[in-house]
Amino acid sequence: MSGADTTVAEAGTAANSPGFEPLTVEDRYPPPAARPDPNRDKGWFRRLLPLLTARRLTFGATLVCGVAGLTLQVSVPMVLRHAIDVALEERTGSLEAHVWALAAIAVAAFGLRFAYRYLLFWAAYRIETDLRSIIYEHLTRLSFSFYDRIAAGEVISRANSDIRSIQLLLAFGPLAGLSMLSFVLAVGFMLSIHVPLTLLAVATMPLVFLLGQRMRDLVFPLSWITQGRMAEVAMVVDENLSGTRVVKSFAAEADQIALLSRAAQRLRWSATALVDARARFNPLIEALPRLGMASILLYGGWLAIEDRIGVGALLAFSSYVIMIAVPFRMLGFILLQTQRAAASSQRIFEILDEVPAVADRPGARHLVDPTGRVEFRDVRFAYPGADPDAPPVLDGFDLVVEPGETVALVGRTGCGKTTVARLLCRFYDVDAGGVLIDGNDVRDLTLASLRHHVNQVTDEPFLFSESIRDNIAFGRPDAPLDEVVRASTAAQSHGFVGELADGYDEVVGERGYTLSGGQRQRIALARSLLANPRILVLDDATSAVDVQVEENIHSALRGLLADRTTIVIAHRLSTIALADRVVLLEGGRVVASGNHTELLASEPRYAAILASADGHDDSSEQALL
């Protein structure tokens, strides 16, 4: 095979290639049983319905246990009525039989209600797990443009507290539904005992319904606002924990506390308004059925005195009145939770409905064992959401980097150097023109294979709060320790790692802040060297490293870069020394190209940039001449 055929192949031909091979990972846990309905025109509950129907067997068993247990519970007052009327008043039956019947009902009802609650909460937590998996999986697919405009705290709030609100409704909503069924059954039994008493007991129900509707109209917007302001508080806390070194270095703790206080005050206002709405309506919703109870005691007592109703029947009727009051005690909570879940669902769907701006095209091919030729053809690009009247970051950018060549990109801040690296890795897609690897447009390649062969080391490396070995082996988790050590040695990090108490098993702090900036950069460089990409981008990757260590790194890199295409985004003369060719950028395009000596002699803009660069000294310049 040769030419494009050697670099782009279908997944089946990649198996015997030394290049990219699609990974097959065995799931340790079952995937989500279903996914929400993607139809945005449907209501929030209908969109969540597939998650519920996927657990229909569990919900079916739950329903059977719940209804059976409820039927037994509702039958208890009738057994009491019969015991009082037959065994105590008329003395025509045995009280012992009724006692045993009540004991049997209690045992059976306990077992059925236990099974009902266990199955219900099991299903609710499984659906919560499915939702968390679905939203996290979707977040991993979203493009950088999404994270450019939304704060991490906002995303975390939606993936945690909002999903929790839905889970609470799924867990307690059916309980409320079951209590409403108990209301229906109780009213049926009450009608069989005495119709006028029943009508008197339910006389307040229409007013309860109207109050519930009014509370729902007030609670929904307040729930939406409260959930959003909870996310604001989470965002402030997240940013201050992540940026605690910046906060402390500027002694800005008081200002940040004031910022959190303002966010908390806004949350307090909406949460208080929500509590106020509940406080005005919930007591009325719960108290109205109690007026029915008072009426029953008054009218029913008179009927019993007049011997128009038996004492057992009155006792049973009183028990049923208590039963029909239970749903209304739960009504306020369920209405609130329903509105909160509705608001939370819409916030979650805002993320799930987000379409990745960068994704694999239909029929995208794998990039397998590329030679490493990189080409930018008349590229035009502006970041999403940028001022439309502002000039694009790249405008007519043309560049060819041959296989195995090392090219340094030099230019003033904002000229588009880092943007070139982001487009090559396809973190963003070009607005016009094309980015090609071995003649293949990167938009026609799968993202996994592209990023397998193109790796970027930035000037602000991110380390996970894991061991140093795990951080270096992030791109190759199965890499043996000797390969990890070789990559670490090339990046000049093996020395300081050996001085740590646990060596390569040392766990670094969050974002690697237990290490210095230069140490983090060297670990990040070792991580990319171990991944062994065909195309490597060094974005000022040694800016925090001292001169002597940088020289040692460069000495090791010269041999390692010989067989790979490398783009160096340079701000220091010592970094430019790695390059075979220097490219000068200005105004989003290439304005000059050549080696350091040629550009220094013929291009005043290049000389001016070097003169203003940090770390410029005579010895560095002499090393390049």
43-55 tens-digit pLDDT = 888 999 999 899 8
Buried b (16+ CB within 10 A) or exposed e, 468-477: bbbbbbbbee
Nearest by Cα to 553 from 503, 498, 488: 488
Indicate the range of 240-249, 317-326, 484-493 predicted with least confidence: 240-249
Both tokens assigned to 117: 């609650």
CA 150, CA 158: separation in Å to the nearest integer? 12
- The confidence score (pLDDT) of residue 432 equals 94
For range 307-316, the mean pLDDT: 77
The rounded radius of gyration (Å) of the Cα atoms in the chain is 35
- The confidence score (pLDDT) of residue 430 equals 94
- The confidence score (pLDDT) of residue 446 equals 92
Both tokens assigned to 320: 């049923």
CA 201, CA 288: separation in Å to the nearest integer? 10
Specify whether the backbone of 502 is left (phi greater than 0), alpha (psi in -120 to 50) or beta. alpha
Q: For residue 375, is pLDDT > 90? A: yes
Buried b (16+ CB within 10 A) or exposed e, 388-411: eeeebbbbebebebeebbbbbbbb
- The confidence score (pLDDT) of residue 547 equals 65
Q: What is the pTM of this model?
A: 0.71
The predicted-structure confidence for 382-411, as pLDDT tens digits, reads as follows 998 778 888 899 999 999 999 988 899 998
The residue with greater pLDDT, 251 or 107, is 107
**pLDDT classification of 377: cutoffs 50, 70, 90:** very high
List C-alpha distances in Å: 14 to 8, 17, 18, 364.
9, 5, 8, 14
CA 466, CA 527: separation in Å to the nearest integer? 13
The residue with greater pLDDT, 548 or 433, is 433
The residue with greater pLDDT, 44 or 311, is 44
**pLDDT classification of 623: cutoffs 50, 70, 90:** very low
Annotate 434-459 with three-state secondary structure. Answer: EEEECCEEHHHECHHHHHHHEEEECC
CA 217, CA 404: separation in Å to the nearest integer? 66
Task: Give the N- to C-terminal CA distance of the chain in Å, as an integer.
Answer: 42
Kind plus residue range of the DSSP H or E element containing 543: none
- The confidence score (pLDDT) of residue 415 equals 87
- The confidence score (pLDDT) of residue 613 equals 60
Domains and CATH numbers, the chain: 44-352 (1.20.1560.10), 367-624 (3.40.50.300)
Kind plus residue range of the DSSP H or E element containing 584: strand 581-586
The answer to whether 585 and 577 have CB atoms below 8 angstroms apart is no
Instruction: Determine the 3-state secondary structure of 13 from DSSP.
Output: helix
- Kind of pairing between the strands at 581-586 and 589-594: antiparallel
Annotate 95-141 with three-state secondary structure. Answer: HHHHHHHHHHHHHHHHHHHHHHHHHHHHHHHHHHHHHHHHHHHHHHH
Q: For residue 91, is pLDDT > 70? A: no
The predicted-structure confidence for 506-540, as pLDDT tens digits, reads as follows 888 777 777 877 888 888 889 988 888 889 888 87
CA 301, CA 295: separation in Å to the nearest integer? 10
Indicate the range of 13-17, 453-457, 553-557 predicted with least confidence: 13-17
- The confidence score (pLDDT) of residue 187 equals 82
For range 471-490, the mean pLDDT: 89
Instruction: Determine the 3-state secondary structure of 319 from DSSP.
Output: helix
The answer to whether 157 and 234 have CB atoms below 8 angstroms apart is yes
The answer to whether 587 and 395 have CB atoms below 8 angstroms apart is yes
List C-alpha distances in Å: 173 to 42, 178, 333, 338, 534.
20, 9, 10, 8, 56
The predicted-structure confidence for 190-226, as pLDDT tens digits, reads as follows 888 888 888 887 777 777 777 766 776 777 677 778 8
The residue with greater pLDDT, 278 or 61, is 61
**pLDDT classification of 22: cutoffs 50, 70, 90:** low
Both tokens assigned to 345: 């669902």
The answer to whether 320 and 186 have CB atoms below 8 angstroms apart is yes
Nearest by Cα to 145 from 300, 358, 332: 358
Within 10 A of 21 (CB to CB), how many other CB atoms are there? 15
